[in-house]
Structure 1
Amino acid sequence: MNRHLLLSAAFCLALAPTPAFATDGPVPHTGFNENIPIQMMGDELDRPIAMVIEDRLTTPKKLKKIENEFGSAGAKVLTRSYAGRLYRPIWTEVGAESLQGVVDNLFDHGIVSDQILRNDLRRTIKSRFTSKSPKSRAKADIQLSLAWLRTAKAIGGGLKDEGGMATPMKIGVKKFNLTDSLLQSGLGKSSTELFAMAPNTHDYQKLIAALATYRELAANGGWRGIPEGDAIEVGDKDPRVPALRTRLRAEGFYDLEQLLRSPDADIAIDVLDENTVIALKKFQRRHGLNEDGILGNNTLKAMNESVESKIDKISDALHRWRYQGDMGQKYIWANIPSYTATGWNRGKKEITMRTIVGKPRFATPEFSDQVEYMVANPKWYLPVSIIRRQKVPKLKRDPGYADKYGYNIYDRKTGEKVDAYSVDWTERGVARKYRFVQEAGEGNALGDMKIIFPNQYSVYLHGTPGEHLFEKAQRAFSSGCVRLEDPVRMAKWIARHDDEVARTDITEAIEETENTRFELDEHVPVHITYFLVTANDDGSVNFHRDIYKRDDGIRTVKKMAKLYKPKPTTVGAHLDGESAH
């Protein structure tokens, strides 16, 4: 068949009825994309290769292997891409080299290419374009496409279907035409197509830069840990102080030249001075520690974490971002380990506040949903789990606890209000027999606002009467919900562009202490995540404590740095001589 007959046959196939793409059902083996440049259709020399490709992609046993790895979605992307070209090869030499370039740059994203590719890509490229065997060239072309799918899966967080990348979240699927993207990559656009699948969030881009910075630190030897000992406060003399300065300087918290210009430059090198305390507080702030300027046990442990461990944590954060999915145009991001909630709109952070999250035994879950309504001056309807775990033990000791904290108790069968003193709180299963309601007002556990996104966990955002707890560095105190430092301000931000709710309505409801529900016309996504590393606007990063012990999956070569060994100091040595050490 000559070239003109081949194209005619292809257009006939295009005119024939074809089934719509779906996740289920048989994999289609025919079809034609009229947008494909004519040069991608190949020439007569490709026919023997096309016959082998068709055999491999239409033989159930061989296709099953592909489905086992990529699922039916990935298999459909592959078969549709080839079928639309009458099984001609997809990969040009320029396209293959562009794919190699992407794979070479995966390391920058914290992805180890050896872990996602099944074979040597360079060898596959050589086989595709130099082998004299049509069978070998066909196999190599398919292998290049499979390598592309693996790379897309790694960068984009998994394959879902023709139009999306998979995400474990309820919302936020990233949309891509994977078939067209594969074909364009075959022409040489792998970098554009594949890296477009990566997250486009503020933190992801900043973390890529941070990963490069910390890898450079590792290449230069990292840093030495500080030996254990008594806590060191400002003015204390300790032989480990030079090690502290060296450690702070290694990660950019302490500038030696600035210190030498300071009024403290004549202080002995083994005395903790004010300037070093300033750098130490900065370190503590970026590591979720109490900002007290004291080198205590927790600060020492954080300082002695190795650069390799931090690199792995940054890589893990990048991995988590890839599987997070599209956050949306306007959304709330509540990150558990950082104890923060931020409101983002079109790539800009518009609001941020501190949070309180669940205790380790009542861990706040990770999930995404959408805010549907808000309630000013809310009543608190206690879940059975909280009644059983927290309230029944207290009522056993003192039934007067209910009145003291404003809890009304109702019989679930009759709906009648009951006196706490009339209930046998030692009875088995008593928590399920009664409904607890805490009225709105001062002391209400939800504060003056709750923000609801209905979910299976009964978790939501709300205020709290315990505002003093926001002053603590570690704030895992709740029973699972996320308490906001300023829930009214967050509610107003959510409603700012909502046609159904005016910000003045929220203010008036709070002032009048009326229990008021606000239905939202615009449902704003909320994402509750568990990132141990987050980025700041200036590119610096924060390392958060693993409050729920979830970093076991992080590939860590060496968690603790080698210890600093102090050199003998000359009697009377001062800071201006520290450079000699």
Structure 2
Amino acid sequence: MKKFLISTAAISLLGSTLVSASGAPDDLVNHAPVAHPVEALLGEPASEKSAYIEQYMLKESKIKKIEDEFGPDGLTTIQRAYATKINQPIWTVQGAYDLQATMEDVFAHGIIADDIFDDDFDRLMQRRFFSSSADKQAEADIKLTLIWLRLAQAISGDLSEEHAMTQRAGSPVLRYNIPTSLLNSAQGSSDRELLAMAPTAPQYHRLKTVLAQYRQLRRDGGWLAIRDGEAIEAGDVDPRVPDLRARLRAESYDVPDPLEPESPNLFDEPLSSALKLFQTRHGLEDDGILGGNTLIALNESVDSKIDRIAESMNRWRAQGDLEDRYIWANIPSFSAEGWNNGKMEIKQRTIVGKTWFATPEFSDEVEYVVANPKWYLPVSIIRRQKVPKLKKDPGYAAKYGYKIFDRETGAPVNAFEVDWTEPGVARKYKFVQQAGEGNALGEMKIIFPNQYSIYLHGTPGKNLFDRAQRTFSSGCVRLEDPIAMAKWIARYDEEVDVVEITTAIEADQHKRLDLEDNVPVHITYFTVTVDETGTPYFWRDVYDRYNGSIRYVERYERDFDDRKSRADIRG
């Protein structure tokens, strides 16, 4: 991207017209816009430019184009900003120059500036500040504003609701005023105004650091692919072992030299340990075996990983404000965390929906918890899972604690007296599994009423938590320890007491406990997360929501065939 070069004399002259905002407190992002009599310097009557801008704002075609791209709130932002300046141009040379610099800065956020403005910025600057036509200057000013809005939309994730863009913690400004931010940026503070709109979620800033690290890995050459072959484990001899060692080192894994230097093709225990760590960080069974799934993960290219990191940052921008205390359940990482004021206070393993019962992504609020819950089965599960079993054995209902009721009369029904082969039979009966040891919801469910009938709950199948990929539920999120999560929620609630939860569980009491303060819950789909030490985890795209966009290395080590020949001779 070209930079617009301005002479020292021009900068000095323009600078003399600027009213500095540096006297404002450092923690204020949305300080009051300052006056800037740039028209006097440029020599064009303000009225000609004002007339052009006013006419521009009245044209239906222009209005529609802005609304199509930015929505009604984007149009309102532009109208308010220019109305504040009585439809005069708002951009100064310093403002435009800083905007260009900010366009390059957002690369660190995984945003490609050319996707926002693919024209010649140098030419745009020339038109805005040195054109002999007042109309062209005014038009260029509006284009600068549209570039700013695209950047604001990209870095914030959404400009459709100004009130959803909360200010960072500790700032006396509670909400963004987008028109004011625009005017401030036009004076020369785009970097401060726009980058302050980035998400404050800890994950976002960790991902930003990791993005820079992986871009450096790409500059260093990335890594080569490992050839396909039979699975190998510690103790095996294989010509791909040196390639595996080099591949792990290329991604900064600590891999020692071979224990037996004269046997470089020996898969030794230290290498197996390093591979186990790689598997853990890629959502694989950490068995230390170089098998099919591990080979696929190893051969993902550095460019593909960079794209996944950038996409995760983009998803965080779209996520919006998480609030101070919340539950974050991420589907690909099979985890749920409780956060309070920027600190993670509880973390658990989870089980999510099977691929054909995929857990949806959405945000809601926990309203109540239920100790020793009964399970009221939805029709979809009755039809898909229970009716086929009852066709084979009507005694299945009693064996697993299900009571069946007629939906019209509410009368209890004997499973042996129902024709389970009848079409539509699932809609005629209500199934309720009683609380107890075999209840599918375990000892606790955490409810946030939603259109998907999804909630957090326990499970009697604790052994499934030891699996690396845990897509076993019918859509709900199963928690490893839902009682602990419920107690964490209650710890900050004025209505529900931790002791009350403990008492209900110990007494096997079926009890609903309504919260005084609802707790936000966010169910997300990030295939890259970063832990508190800065270590990235690249999770499997379990629902293929990235549409097969993961790419693989196709270059191999050149001397592989020679090593294979030597290994075959020794074998």
The aligned residue for residue 22 of structure 2 is none
Tell me, yes or no, if the aligned pair for 1:384 and 1:432 is still in contact at 8 Å.
yes
1:565 to 552, 558, 565: 558
* CA shift in 2, pair 1:361/1:572, >3 Å: closer
User: TM-score, length-normalised on structure 1?
Assistant: 0.87
How far is the alpha carbon of 1:390 from its aligned partner? Answer: 0.2
Query: Deviations along 1:38-73, whole A, 9 cap, x unmatched?
Result: 336865843322222122112333333222322221
User: Aligned with 2:419: secondary structure?
Assistant: coil
Q: Identify the residue that residue 50 of structure 1 maps to in structure 2.
A: 50
Asked if structure 2 preserves the Cα contact closer than 8 Å seen for 1:495 and 1:503, the reply is yes
> Aligned partners of 1:337, 1:62: CA distance in 2, in Å?
43
Cα 1:224–1:327, aligned 2, differ >3 Å: closer, same or farther?
same
Q: What amino acid sits opposite 1:145 in the alignment?
A: T
Name the CA shift for 1:162/1:527 in 2 (closer, same or farther; >3 Å): closer
1:436-483 deviation per Cα after TM superposition (whole angstroms, max 9, x unaligned): 000001010000000000000000000000000000001000000000
Residue in 2 aligned with 1:425?
A: 420
What is residue 285 of structure 1 aligned with on the other side? 280
Counterpart-to-counterpart distance in 2, 1:290 and 1:244: 17
Q: Does 1:391 align with 2:380?
A: no
In structure 2, the partner of 1:39 is 36
Moved more, 474-483 or 308-317: 308-317
Please name the residue that 2:227 is paired with.
227
> Is 1:271 aligned with 2:269?
no
Q: 1:297 aligns with which of 292, 295, 306?
A: 292
SS for the counterpart of 2:502 is helix
Q: Using the TM superposition, give the Cα deviation of residue 570 of structure 1 relative to its aligned residue in structure 2, in angstroms.
A: 12
1:167-566 equivalences under 5 Å are: 175-256=175-256, 259=257, 264=259, 266=261, 268-552=263-547, 554=549, 558-566=551-559
Q: Give the CA RMSD over aligned residues.
A: 2.2
Aligned to 1:20: none
CA-CA distance at 1:121 after TM superposition: 2.7
Take 1:56 and 1:157, find their aligned partners in 2: how far apart are those partners?
A: 27
Instruction: Give the distance between the partners of 1:416 and 1:108, measured in 2 at CA.
Output: 63
If the length of structure 2 is used for normalisation, what is the TM-score?
Answer: 0.89
Aligned residues: 527
* Cα gap change, 1:427 to 1:120, in 2 (>3 Å): same
The one-letter code of the counterpart of 2:113 is: S
Using the alignment, how far apart are the partners of 1:491 and 1:306 within structure 2?
A: 41
Report the secondary structure of 2:189's partner residue: helix
- Structure 1 residues 509 and 267 mapped into 2: Cα distance closer, same or farther (>3 Å)? farther
- The separation in 1 between residues aligned to 2:200 and 2:302, in whole angstroms, is 26
Aligned to 2:128: 128
- Which residue in the other structure is 1:92 paired with? 92
537-546 or 48-57, larger mean C-alpha shift: 48-57
SS of aligned partner of 1:437:
strand
> Which AA in structure 2 matches 1:104?
E
Amino acid at match of 1:338: S
Deviations 1:245-302 (A, max 9, x none): 000100011344xx47xxx355721111111111101000000000101111110111
Q: CA 1:365–1:175 in 2, change beyond 3 Å: closer, same or farther?
A: farther
Residue 414 of structure 1 aligns to a residue whose secondary structure is coil
CA contact (8 A) 1:99 1:191 kept: yes
Consecutive unaligned residues in structure 1, runs of 5 or more: 1-32, 167-173, 574-581
C-alpha contact 2:529 2:536 (8 A) present in aligned 1: yes
In structure 2, do the counterparts of structure 1 residues 570 and 314 end up closer, same or farther at CA, with 3 Å as the change threshold?
closer
Matched-pair contact (CA < 8 Å) for 1:411–1:417: yes
CA distance in 2, matches of 1:39, 1:122: 22
Helix, strand or coil at the partner of 2:420: coil
- Residue 375 of structure 1 deviates from its aligned partner by 0.2
CA distance in 2, matches of 1:562, 1:158: 40
Matches of 1:290 and 1:506, distance apart in 2: 35
Q: Identical aligned pairs, as a percentage?
A: 55
1:487: how far off? 0.3
Q: Secondary structure at the match of 1:52?
A: helix
1:509–1:516 CA contact under 8 A, matched in 2: yes
Which one-letter code corresponds to 2:515 in the other structure? Answer: L
Partner amino acid, structure 1, of 2:177: N
Match status 1:157 vs 2:168: no
- Partner amino acid for 1:101? A
Instruction: Please report how far the alpha carbon of residue 116 of structure 1 lies from its aligned counterpart in structure 2 after TM superposition.
Output: 2.0
Give the corresponding residue for 1:22: none
For the 8 Å contact 1:336–1:364, the answer to whether it is kept is yes
The change in CA–CA distance for 1:34 and 1:362 in structure 2 (over 3 A counts) is: closer
Structure 2 residues not aligned, in runs of 5+: 1-29, 167-173
Give, in whole Å, the separation in 1 of the partners of 2:533 and 2:260. Answer: 29
- Alpha-carbon distance, 1:34 to partner: 12
| Cα displacement (A) at 1:118 | 5.3
Q: Is the 8 A contact 2:56 2:62 kept in 1?
A: yes
**What SS does the aligned partner of 1:500 have?**
coil
Alignment of 1:95-106 (within 5 A): 95-106=95-106
Paired AA for residue 552 in structure 2: K
Deviations 1:293-325 (Å, cap 9, x if unpaired)? 111111011101111111111111111111011
Amino acid corresponding to residue 250 of structure 2 in structure 1: A
User: 1:162: how far off?
Assistant: 4.4
Q: What is the deviation of 1:175?
A: 4.7
Structure 1 residues 133 and 531: alpha-carbon distance in aligned structure 2, compared to 1, 3 A threshold: same
